[in-house]
Amino acid sequence: MNIAVIGTGYVGLVAAACLADAGNNCIGVDIDEEKIRKLTAGVVPFYEPGLDDLLLRNVREERLVFTTDIARAVKESQVVFIAVGTPENEDGSADLKHVLAVAEKIAGHANGEKVVVLKSTVPVGTNRRVRDLIRAKTAHPVRVVNNPEFLKEGTAVDDFQKPDRVVIGCEDEHGAAIMSEIYAPFVRTGNPVLIMDPMSAEMTKYAANVMLASRISMVNELSQLCEKVGADVEMVRRGIGTDARIGSSFLFAGIGFGGSCFPKDISALRKTGEEHGVPMRMTQAIEAVNARQKEVLFEKISAHYGGKLVGLKFAVWGLAFKPRTDDMREAPSIVIINRLLEAGAAVAAFDPAATETARDIFGPRIRLCERAYEPLSGADALIIMTEWNEFRQPSFDRVKAALNRPVIFDGRNLYNAQHISELGFTYYSVGRRAALPVA
């Protein structure tokens, strides 16, 4: 099938590469000429495991090409995916200007029957809005389908190629048939293709992210109470996670969630509720809990040093909002590092993928290191903010020898507190008692 994907950001590029890898002829479209040149050369502009090989293979096989010419892409394609950004407006609503601008161009360049697929995350009712806009500007039969993405950064290629489910929001059987054909190679093991109305599909995307975020915020709020009453949130997590009605996913206490999806989608759903007279109180609570959780680790650090951080140096492991990505949008590390800098401390940091992203955010205000143990030298404490695998079993002898004082602030609960204390560290984590060094 001939497919165009307009927008070569995270969602669009993964979709284009995976659809091409299934044998389709795909055209990726973007307005950024430099980006198109890099993609044509097989260079992925962000970090996502496995995507570089997938991209390069399909570019070489000429199943995947890139262009800035949207007219060509629309005319040569039977199906056109819209995968442009929907950033958050100041009031929390989703900004649809890019989606609507692309829809107008599709209508202007349509040369026959088309299926337009809204892959961008859009508020309820956008599918109908785009449909009406296109139909008003072209006489050609154009069907508009909503197909929300459920990709996780760090595992996006696998998520697309082996989806838990595929959600298709459409108004007629023809659109459903085309979309089912596109996704047939990815659901051969029987995972469901769920056909529903467009508004339900749009709502499903927001509902899924808000439900997942609510689990994170619930365990994070519990972690604060656990510390006050002397409970261990890790034990509590295991205790509730083994309940089949609850499960263990997204129940890890930490320093809050970030990224491009959860914060934006929670705000958008809250705003949609306001517009329809339905106050989304749970979403409001999730936002408040998450904002509060990003302050918790800094407060532990400040309390340990009696509020006197001027002149202290801190080593940081992890800057991205989660492992296996270089994405730092809404990352807790930004909040905590800024608080440290404001308090007069110095910061040296290492992240396996997010160094350049961090350089754009912090500039020369922090020292960015190329190796994991480099920032520890002469630091007064180690702060862990992202749970990369290489931080899970470090050489604690080497960590201890490099630090001025054997102190660890663990925002992701990576270590066994008793074991760390027996190694001579003062150890702070989330939702657990501080562990003092064993004499």
Is residue 138 within 8 Å of residue 107, measured between CB atoms? yes
Would you say residue 285 has pLDDT above 70?
A: yes
Confidence at residue 260, expressed as pLDDT on a 0 to 100 scale: 86
Would you say residue 234 has pLDDT above 90?
A: yes
User: What is the per-residue pLDDT across 318-371, written as a single tens digit (0 to 9) for each?
Assistant: 999 999 999 999 999 999 999 999 999 999 999 999 999 999 999 999 999 999
In DSSP notation, 21-79 reads HTT-EEEEE-S-HHHHHHHHTT--SS--TTHHHHHHHHHHTTSEEEES-HHHHHHH-SE
Task: Count the neighbouring beta carbons within 10 Å of the beta carbon of residue 393.
Answer: 9
User: What is the per-residue pLDDT across 358-400, written as a single tens digit (0 to 9) for each?
Assistant: 999 999 999 999 999 999 999 999 999 999 999 999 999 999 9
Confidence at residue 254, expressed as pLDDT on a 0 to 100 scale: 97
**Per-residue confidence at 427, pLDDT binned at 50, 70, 90?**
very high
Domain 197-439 has CATH 3.20.20.80: no
**Per-residue confidence at 90, pLDDT binned at 50, 70, 90?**
confident
| Averaged pLDDT score across all residues of the chain | 96
Which CATH architecture does the domain made up of 2-196 adopt? 3-Layer(aba) Sandwich (3.40)
DSSP assigned state of 121: -
Confidence at residue 184, expressed as pLDDT on a 0 to 100 scale: 97
Q: What is the mean pLDDT of residues 60-83?
A: 97
Rg (the chain; Cα; Å): 24
Confidence at residue 380, expressed as pLDDT on a 0 to 100 scale: 98
The pair of structure tokens assigned to 95 is 């900004």
Would you say residue 102 has pLDDT above 90?
A: yes
Single-letter code of the amino acid located at 168: I
CA distance linking residue 378 with residue 437, whole number of Å: 20
Q: What is the mean pLDDT of residues 159-185?
A: 96
What is the value of pTM for the model shown?
Answer: 0.92
DSSP assigned state of 110: -
Would you say residue 162 has pLDDT above 80?
A: yes
Query: Where do the structural domains in the chain lie, given as residue ranges?
Result: 2-196, 197-439
For the annotated catalytic residues, the residue numbers are: 261
Confidence at residue 176, expressed as pLDDT on a 0 to 100 scale: 95
Would you say residue 92 has pLDDT above 90?
A: no
CA distance linking residue 294 with residue 254, whole number of Å: 9
User: What is the per-residue pLDDT across 43-62, written as a single tens digit (0 to 9) for each?
Assistant: 999 999 999 999 999 999 99
Q: What is the mean pLDDT of residues 220-228?
A: 97
The pair of structure tokens assigned to 133 is 């806009």
Q: What is the mean pLDDT of residues 20-41?
A: 97
**Per-residue confidence at 273, pLDDT binned at 50, 70, 90?**
very high
Single-letter code of the amino acid located at 336: I
Which residues does residue 193 pair with via DSSP β-bridges, in sequence order? 166
Task: Count the neighbouring beta carbons within 10 Å of the beta carbon of residue 65.
Answer: 20
CA distance linking residue 173 with residue 409, whole number of Å: 56
**Per-residue confidence at 439, pLDDT binned at 50, 70, 90?**
low
Q: What is the mean pLDDT of residues 30-42?
A: 96
CA distance linking residue 117 with residue 106, whole number of Å: 11
pLDDT above 90 covers a percentage of the chain that reads 97
Task: Count the neighbouring beta carbons within 10 Å of the beta carbon of residue 338.
Answer: 16
